Amino acid sequence: MLYQISQGTKSFGSQLIFKQLQFEIRGNEKIAVVGPNGSGKTTLLKIIAGDIDLDEGVIHRSNQVRLGVLSQTSFADEEISVEATFSEEFAYIHKMQEQLEIMHVALQGEHDEKLLYQYDALLHAFEMAGGYTFDSEMKTVLTKMGFVEADLLRPIKTFSGGQKTRLAFAKLLLSKPDILLLDEPTNHLDISTIEWLEGYLIYYPKAIVFVSHDRYFLDKVANTVVDIDGYKTTRYTGNYSSYLHQRNTNQEKQLSAYNRQQKDIERLEALIEKFRYKRSKAAFAQSKIKYLQRMEKVEKPKGEGRSFAANFIAKIRGAKDVLILDQCVIGYDQPLAKVSMQILRGDKVAIMGDNGTGKSTLLKTIVGQVPLLLGEMMLGHQIEIGYFDQDHAQFSSEKTVLEEIWDDFPDLDKTQVRTVLGRFLFSGDDVFKSVAVCSGGERVRLLLAKLMLKQANLLILDEPTNHLDIPGKEALEAALAGYEGTILFVSHDRYFIEKIATSRLVFEQGSATYYPLNVEQKKSEPTISVKEEQKVERLAQVKQKKDLVKELTRIEKQITESEEKLEGLREKRFEPEYYHDYQKMKDLDDQIDEVHNSIAHLIARWEELQEHVEGK
C-alpha cells in the first residue's frame, strides 16, 4: 500500500466535502477520480499532494514515496536554457551511471558479494529512472509536448505561460514520481499529443491518480475508477466504460431493493394503522412499529448529475450554400494556412490539427475578428452567425448573471430570462451572482444560454466543451445533434467530435484538407438484406475470433520464451566474465532492457486481444 486515507473528513466553512472518506493507492495503479463538478475531485488530489489538510482522519503513506504534481513543479532559474535546466534537474541519473561504472571497475578485481548486491540494487534504481534511455526519452517527451530542437537552447523565461506549463509537465513526467498526480492533463493539448500521452501513461511504471473529463482518455489510461458521490468514494476495478456498466448495474440492484423495501414499509404501516387502536392487536402493532424503527433503510440511488437543457433552433433557414472559402490565406503577421472549402446547410464540420496550425484563427477570420490575408470568403444569404469563443469563457463582468442575459436580450421579461437561466442550472439566488465570481463551467453555461437565445443558423464554436463536466458535455452533444442548422467547430475532445461531426477540416503543414460528408457516403453505398448482413457479420465474427485466439496463443508462447530469456540474462550478471568486464556488463544491461520492454509490449498486446476475445 503506497498511500491510504481512513475515515477522512473535510469541510470548507459550512460546506461538507468528505465524510468518513476511504481512499487508497496500491502498486502501479492508474486511478481515475470521477464525480460531478464540485464533488471534491481536485480537493482529493490536493489532500494527497499535501496542499490541504484533513479536518479529521488518518493518512498512511509508505516511507520514501515520492509524489509528483504539476502545481508544485517549477524552475529555480529561468535565465538558463531548457537543455541546461533539464541536465541540472536530472544530474542524479548521470551520477548513478558514473557510480555504476566505478562499481564495474571495482568488480573486475576480487569477487565481492556485498558490492555485487549494491551494484544490482543501484542498477535497478537506474533502470526505473530511465537509465541508458533517459536522454532519448527526454527528447521524445519535449518533442511530443510541442518543442523543437532549437527550443532546447532557449532560456526558460523566453517561453509563453502555456509553453512553460508544458515544460513543467515534461519535467514532471521525466522525474517519474512513485505517485503521479494529474488534474485535467489533456487541457490545452492537441489530439496527437493527447494520444501520445495516453500511451506514455499506460506504460508508466508507477502509480497515477488523475482527474479528467476526456472520456477516451479515461477509457485508455484508467484501470481503477474512484467515484466521488455524496461525500464518500466508491472504488471500481476496470476502465471508465467498465465503471459505467458496474455503476449502472449496482444502481439498478439498489433501486430494486429500495422499491421492495418501500412496499414492505407501506404494508407494515397499513397493518399498524389498522391494528394500533384495537386492544387485542395493540402488542402486534407495537412490535411492527419497533421493527420499522430498527429496519436499516435502503437509500434511493441518486440519478445522473444534473445538467443543463439547451435547445438550439435556427430562426431563419438561410441559404443552402452557407460558407465558401476560395484560396483563403489566414494568419496574423505571417500566413498560417491556405483553406478552400464549401459548407452546405446542415453540415457539422470539425476543425482538427495540432496547436498553432490555424484552427482558431480560421474561426476568428470567418467572424471578422482577424482580417483575411488573401483569397475570397463568401457567406450565404440570410446566414446569421452565433459565435462561441473559448477566450470569452474567461471573461469577467461586474454584471449579475441575470443582467448579462437581460442586457443582450432586452425584449425578454424577467420571468423568461429566469426560465432560460434555470435551464442552464442557474436557479434561486444564483441569478443575482456576479459573473466575476462564476466558475469556468458556469461562464460556459452562461455563454451557451446566450448562444441558444440568438437562434443563429450557423454556429461557430471554439472549444465549447472546455470547463464542462461529463454530464454537461453529454447535454451539449444531445442539443447539437438535434440542431438543424450548420456547425463549424474546433475541439480536442475526440468523443465530442465523433458524436457531432459529419465532416472534418484537417490542418497540417500550412494547408487544410476538407473531408466531406461521411454520412452521405455511407447512404450511397449498396445495401444488403438484414438476414444476409447478419449472416456475413456472424461468419466474420467467428473467423475474427479464431484469428484472435491463434494470435493469443502465439503471444503467450513469445512471453514465456522472453521471460526465460530475461531470467537467463539476469543470471549472467553474477558470472565473473561479466561483472569483471564493464563493457560486457553494459551490453548485457542493454539486452536486459530490450527484452524487458519487449515483454511489456507483448503483455499489453495480450491484454488487448484477451478483451476482444472475451467481448466476442
How far apart CA 554 and CA 606 sit, in angstroms, is: 10
Between the alpha carbon of residue 11 and those of residues 21, 54, 55, 230, the distances in Å are: 12, 8, 7, 13
pLDDT band at residue 44 using 50, 70 and 90 as cut-offs? very high
Sign of CA dihedral 535, 540, 541, 542: positive
Euclidean distance between the first and the last CA atom of the chain, given in angstroms as a whole number: 35
Average pLDDT over residues 186-209: 92
Instruction: Identify the residue whose cell numbers are 505517485.
Output: 179
Q: Please indicate whether residue 108 or residue 211 has the higher confidence score (pLDDT).
A: 211
Using one digit for the tens of pLDDT, what is the confidence trace for 423-470?
999 999 999 999 888 888 889 999 999 999 999 999 999 999 988 889
**275 contacts: CB under 8 Å, gap ≥ 6:** 281, 282, 284, 285
**What pLDDT is stored for residue 345 in this prediction?**
95
User: Hey, how many other C-beta atoms are within 10 angstroms of the C-beta on 31?
Assistant: 21
Instruction: Report whether pLDDT(238) > 90.
Output: yes
How far apart CA 40 and CA 42 sit, in angstroms, is: 6
How far apart CA 480 and CA 492 sit, in angstroms, is: 17
How far apart CA 193 and CA 353 sit, in angstroms, is: 11
How far apart CA 175 and CA 137 sit, in angstroms, is: 11
Residues 57 and 9: beta-carbon distance below 8 Å? yes
Residues 516 and 489: beta-carbon distance below 8 Å? no
> 14's torsion region: left (phi>0), alpha (psi -120 to 50) or beta?
alpha
Instruction: Report whether pLDDT(587) > 80.
Output: no
Q: What is the DSSP letter of 40?
A: S
User: Hey, how many other C-beta atoms are within 10 angstroms of the C-beta on 291?
Assistant: 12
Using one digit for the tens of pLDDT, what is the confidence trace for 505-542?
999 888 899 887 544 343 333 333 334 444 444 544 55
Whether this prediction's pTM lies above 0.95 is answered by no
Instruction: Report whether pLDDT(18) > 80.
Output: yes
**What pLDDT is stored for residue 230 in this prediction?**
80
Which range has the worst mean pLDDT, 413-427, 471-485, 552-566?
A: 552-566
